Structure 1
Amino acid sequence: MSRTLALAVATIALTAPATPVAAAPADRQSQFRAAAAEFGVPEPVLLAVSYLESRWDANGGRPSTAAGYGPMHLTDVVAANAGGSHHDEGSEDPRGDDSRETLTPEPGEGDFDSPALRTIELAADLTGTDASVLRSDPAANIRGGAALLAHYQRPFGSSADPGAWYGAVARYSGATAAGAASAFADEVFSVLRQGVERVTDDGHRVRLAPAPSARPDTAAVTRLGLRGPVAGPTECPATVACDWIPAPYQQLPDNDYGNHDKANRPSSAKIDYIVIHDTEATWDTTLRLVQDPTYVSWHYSLRSADGLIAQHVPVKDVGWHAGNWYVNAKSIGLEHEGFAAQGSWYTEAMYRTSAKLVRHLAAKHRIPLDRAHIIGHDNVPGTTPATVRGMHWDPGPYWDWGHYFDLLGAPLRAEVGPWSPLVMVKPDYASNRPAFFGCDTANPSALCPARGSTSVILRAAPSDDAPLLVDVGLRPDGSPATMHISDHGSRVDTGQRFAVAERRGAWTAVWYLGQKGWLRSRDVVPVRGTLLTPVSRTIPVYGRAYPEAAVYPAHIPVQNVVPLQYTLSARQWYSVGLDTSSEYYWAASFDPANHAVVRGEKYYEIQFGHRVAFVKADDVRLVRWG
């Protein structure tokens, strides 16, 4: 236990209930009702807080990316075993620019003393329940969350009016800033007023009836003693809490500099992408690293427990985050707080704040809300054949893209009739549970806990027993992909679009890395869009859309246009995500006056495998469908 939390617990002199607690009800709805009654918390408040943390899911007793367990997201950072940053792992150069030396960041140390990451200790003292039970037993977890809310409500007095619990809800967020605490509480009361009903990941139907007349006492936040916002030139929507914590643009020895590049986007270059990352580090570690001039950078960080946003790099400038300089130069990078990403889940609070930010940025920069433009780090291609294997795989197969696009106001759904030659991947997240392994570092071969996933596995034939596909970029020896949690060599994700190669019974084959990849037809929906195919027998595929040598000015070194180890063959079709002139942003010196953009021939972005890729416009012909 941290010294701060130990002193707080001792001061309050918390004791376990004097009378035995009755056995918990079997169904989740009744568990909420019983816990609310036991601790004097209005049931709608308890339900709404839990929904914003976990959407009432148990998540198999596994921790969230912010060390939270169970429906009430009780945090236990020690049990969750936080690690460093994902930028420290693998061989990916976050900058991804051949004109600069490879960037190899130093690992960050974890921080485990924040009370917001150890609420399970306080809940254990309040309820007399062992922390291991609070982590694994949903009913006990709900009791622990109700006890915390009741504890946080004590300064405000007991009340049956949900609105009187606004201050306690704000405190439950764990926020240290008043704006973040208020934003969390506002979202809780928005859920409470609107109502919601769903079936949890372990099969319980839970309902929160709408309470449109709930009037929260928002002034209660002023009594929590939290800090104000960190002022600065943030670019966030007004409905979120947003701090300015700048990444340093600083000259370093040996004519080097860090940790991002000055630019003038979108005037200098159009922004085409928003890239979703998972930090695999705690909040304090994440902020410390991005303020290190020798480290890497991204535009925004989002905190898991309450959805607080910190902006680090102006959107007009280029962050070093995606491992591909072409994508970096044309993207905005969002890092979502988290660690133990192998098998973890993301809070509803962070999903909602992230969606508000992405919706705001997409509207401002005219970025379409689809999976060709809103991509994961795992969808960014390697720049050359040598870098393909080292590219990162966050935010991973448990980021719920379908739910995220619902929150973006751009739901993923069928667009045309059933026989479209173009389909979009759309499994049922809750019931789609691939048998991954590799989530437990102590037992790497053990299967991951069964849980909903955004990813669908492709087979070499229309059978559940057929081999997985081959990704020669990941496995040059030609061996098939595996079901390891990080191996996406035979995997598609929700929202991605592919051309149909064949249909057979309950199966559909799509073109994927030059092969037919089979998946169940129930996991795709028909959509409209543009497809392309080669005009010759085979054409090269690229990991970046760089200009041809003839258009470079004399003072800018020509960047080689190096094909990846894949080819696209005649009679194969792929979904077009966007078209663009080729671009190279020359930024190899500290003085931005020397930076320049070189433009050349036209390319198309395609969904080629799990990652996107690029082909030259002159090499293909297009067909528009629907």
Structure 2
Amino acid sequence: MAAAALLLPLLSSGPSATADGRPSPSALQSEFAAAAEEFGVPQSVLLGVSYLQSRWDAHGGAASVTGGYGPMHLTDARTALAEAPHHSHGAEDARGDEARPVRAGDDAALPETASLPTRLRTLERAAQVSGIDPSELRDNPAANVRGGAALLADAQKSLGRPASDDPAQWYGAVARFSGADDVATATTYADDVFDVIRTGQARTTDSGQHMVLAADPDVAPDRAQVAALGLRTADAARTECPPSVACEWIPAPYEEFGQGDYGNHDKADRPASQSVEYIVIHDTEATWDTTLRLVQNPQYVSWQYSLRSSDGHIAQHVPLKDVAWHAGNWFVNAKSVGLEHEGFLVSPDAWYTEAMYRTSARLVRYLAHRFDVPLDRQHILGHDNVPGTTAATIRGMHTDPGPYWDWAHYFTLLGRPFTPEAAPDSRVVTIRPDYDANRPLYTGCTKAGEACTPHGSGAVRLHTAPSESAPLVKDIGLRPGGQDSTTGVNDTGARASTGQQYAVAGREGDWTAIWYLGQKAWFHNPRTEPTAVPARARVLTPRDGLAEVPVYGRAYPEASAYPAGVPVQSVSPLPYRLRAGQEYVVGDLLPGEYLYATTFDTAGHRVVRGQEMYYEVQFGHRVAFVKASDVEVRDR
């Protein structure tokens, strides 16, 4: 990439439109050059900061999860405050454990909204120092770039430093632009920007703009400039994070408060007591400050880590050996780590910053290495991929991070991009649409039935036949009455997501069918613009003689495995069936397991492990489990 970048020098001028009036593919590059010259900011610094915020995308004017606009992610979050915390949405019990009362979090009072911090009001400051109207900064990418350049120039001036042509002299201004309030985060953010400058980047944005940042491998910034920012030193003493991120210890409470209840997680001894098999990706749908206050409430729920959108800062709340209450499925909770990503949404068609994607990916790589978790989509789950525990809980399960999380980019950052693994006629496919070009219609972002803002998506829609006019496939768990799935942004009933693997059930023209929730599900997959790539994987099917086998939302032990004093947990099948002739991609082979930890006193905690073995499968949009004794496994 760096070599290619050197062949394409940054533009200082150029045509702003094509003959038919549309912006030329080089228009945005020219706007960066002009803004850099106008405000005396090195082009590489302006481009590097913008890349870390938005990867130069404009997102069609839509705000980010923290109310940030445009390529420079100028924040105007006043109208974007959530009215309720994420874990109070819907009917999901975050613990997902039938052995004790529901803990949904909605009994915790929502903290009062404090005045917004400076990092969520940068558009206001950009308007002041640039003289550009706030509406222009929100809606016009060129104006947004000028506003970002003005902010960087203002930061440099406030530090008493000259408007140097040398990018290395802008380290302190870049650190201030992050909005971070602690030294480690500001330093990590600035380091990331200068890493982009050193290595170079080139990509086509979501609006078709060809952008290039030529590599400058010799740039050596003055990192000591951060000392002049007067930032606090975060408490990282008990954190479990890689050295490449900025991490802070803000503990969730573990205290007894009467009537047999306590909050807001369980003590354990993982991985000695139980293996960690999953890492679950959430979004918070609350401000950063609200998120931190909620996780410190003993009557609320918990997760291991929170990640801040603007700069990628991480707070750890629960030790990795302990079990947080986050996924709505006790089996998954007991064997997972939960990551909440900051976002308070005006509508769910918002976007996530590159700074947060990068920090999150580093943390996940660290966790995967520590617990030997495979970097694939049956182990790195969205909250929307976690199954309901029983038929009664399916409809209440959460749907974050939703169809706008960029799984393809995320797994590229994880070092595991989704690439073809087999011949075009393979019996297994990995879902992988072009995120920017793939813009299926979603409804209900702001009002039921209303179309959402057009937006890139990592999900494909599934039909009952190879036609766009065919009904969407049904999810009898979500709609027991047998109604069709919908285009609702939170309806996961007919959706396959990037990185998920499915067995092929048929092909017809530009359409491919997969086995999904016990039925054939068709998606548009033309060879010229594929939305899936061929893959190799193990699959399972009912063993000979069985017409169908039950599917489960958790892998609990058989009744005979429970010792005296530990109540037997029911092994309840979901309403779906895996039928003869159908195949589903295999994940882990796991023993039935149940963590009994319903008391504050840990002396009575037990891990019950049975003889019954289960396979995890990619059964629909969510994963599921089947008994190993019911199926046979094949290579495809």
TM-score of the pair, normalised by structure 2: 0.93
Asked whether the equivalents of residues 302 and 325 of structure 2 are also in contact (C-alpha less than 8 Å), the reply is yes
Match of 2:550?
540
Q: Partner amino acid for 1:335? A: E
Match of 2:400?
394
Q: Partner amino acid for 2:377? A: R
- Which residue of 365, 368, 374 maps to 2:380? 374
- Please tell me whether residue 459 in structure 1 is matched to residue 448 in structure 2: no
Match of 2:249?
244
Match of 1:528?
536
- Which residue of 315, 323, 337 maps to 1:310? 315
Match of 2:9?
none
Match of 1:282?
287
Distance in 2, matches of 1:213 and 1:540, equals 60
Q: Which moved more, 1:296-305 or 1:58-67?
A: 58-67
Asked whether the equivalents of residues 402 and 495 of structure 1 are also in contact (C-alpha less than 8 Å), the reply is yes
Q: Which moved more, 1:235-244 or 1:127-136?
A: 127-136
Within 5 A, what are the aligned runs for 1:469-480? 469-480=473-484
Within 5 A, what are the aligned runs for 1:200-239? 200-239=205-244
Give % identity: 59
Within 5 A, what are the aligned runs for 1:418-567? 418-440=424-446, 443-521=447-525, 522-535=530-543, 536-567=546-577
- Please tell me whether residue 607 in structure 1 is matched to residue 607 in structure 2: no
Change in 2 beyond 3 A, CA 1:69/1:107: farther
Give the root-mean-square deviation of aligned CA atoms: 1.2
Asked whether the equivalents of residues 427 and 504 of structure 2 are also in contact (C-alpha less than 8 Å), the reply is yes
- Please tell me whether residue 597 in structure 1 is matched to residue 597 in structure 2: no
- Please tell me whether residue 416 in structure 1 is matched to residue 422 in structure 2: yes
1:113 Cα offset (Å): 1.8
1:84 Cα offset (Å): 2.7
Asked whether the equivalents of residues 104 and 301 of structure 2 are also in contact (C-alpha less than 8 Å), the reply is no
Asked whether the equivalents of residues 81 and 287 of structure 2 are also in contact (C-alpha less than 8 Å), the reply is no
Distance in 1, matches of 2:480 and 2:135, equals 44
1:112 Cα offset (Å): 4.3
Distance in 2, matches of 1:349 and 1:611, equals 28
Within 5 A, what are the aligned runs for 1:16-165? 26=23, 27-105=27-105, 106=108, 108-109=110-111, 110-154=113-157, 155=159, 156-165=161-170
Distance in 2, matches of 1:112 and 1:37, equals 35
- Which residue of 341, 351, 354 maps to 1:345? 351
The number of equivalent residue pairs is 601
Q: Which moved more, 1:418-427 or 1:510-519?
A: 418-427
Distance in 2, matches of 1:394 and 1:482, equals 17
Q: Partner amino acid for 1:608? A: F
Deviation string 1:508-567 (CA, Å, 9 cap, x unpaired) is: 100000111001232111111110001211111000000010110011000000011111
- Which residue of 561, 575, 581 maps to 1:571? 581
Asked whether the equivalents of residues 111 and 282 of structure 1 are also in contact (C-alpha less than 8 Å), the reply is no
Change in 2 beyond 3 A, CA 1:524/1:552: same
Within 5 A, what are the aligned runs for 1:4-23? none
Q: Partner amino acid for 1:399? A: W
Deviation string 1:228-286 (CA, Å, 9 cap, x unpaired) is: 12132111001110001111111111121110000000010000000000001111111
Gaps of 5+ in 2: 1-14, 18-22
- Which residue of 609, 629, 635 maps to 1:624? 635
Asked whether the equivalents of residues 95 and 322 of structure 1 are also in contact (C-alpha less than 8 Å), the reply is yes
The alignment partner of 2:116 has SS state of coil
Deviation string 1:399-446 (CA, Å, 9 cap, x unpaired) is: 000000000011111112222211110111111100111112xx4332
1:80 Cα offset (Å): 2.6
Q: Partner amino acid for 1:496? A: Q
1:131 Cα offset (Å): 1.4
Distance in 2, matches of 1:587 and 1:135, equals 50
Q: Partner amino acid for 1:486? A: N
Distance in 2, matches of 1:425 and 1:555, equals 46
Q: Partner amino acid for 1:350? A: M
Asked whether the equivalents of residues 85 and 107 of structure 1 are also in contact (C-alpha less than 8 Å), the reply is no
Match of 1:16?
none
Distance in 1, matches of 2:589 and 2:513, equals 25
Deviation string 1:126-173 (CA, Å, 9 cap, x unpaired) is: 122221221111111111111100000012222110010000000000
The alignment partner of 1:584 has SS state of strand
1:390 Cα offset (Å): 0.4
Match of 2:595?
585
The alignment partner of 1:80 has SS state of coil
Within 5 A, what are the aligned runs for 1:186-205? 186-205=191-210
Distance in 1, matches of 2:433 and 2:223, equals 40
Distance in 2, matches of 1:217 and 1:466, equals 60
Q: Which moved more, 1:470-479 or 1:108-117?
A: 108-117
Asked whether the equivalents of residues 176 and 226 of structure 1 are also in contact (C-alpha less than 8 Å), the reply is yes
Q: Partner amino acid for 2:138? A: R
Deviation string 1:14-44 (CA, Å, 9 cap, x unpaired) is: xxxxxxxxx9885110111111111111010
Distance in 2, matches of 1:484 and 1:208, equals 38
Gaps of 5+ in 1: 1-22
Q: Partner amino acid for 1:76? A: D
Match of 2:361?
355
Q: Partner amino acid for 1:274? A: I
Distance in 2, matches of 1:104 and 1:182, equals 37
Asked whether the equivalents of residues 77 and 112 of structure 1 are also in contact (C-alpha less than 8 Å), the reply is no
Q: Partner amino acid for 2:144? A: N
Within 5 A, what are the aligned runs for 1:261-340? 261-340=266-345
Match of 2:8?
none
Distance in 2, matches of 1:339 and 1:577, equals 33
1:107 Cα offset (Å): 5.1
Distance in 2, matches of 1:575 and 1:312, equals 34
Asked whether the equivalents of residues 84 and 107 of structure 1 are also in contact (C-alpha less than 8 Å), the reply is no
The alignment partner of 1:603 has SS state of strand
Distance in 1, matches of 2:179 and 2:615, equals 45
Match of 2:262?
257
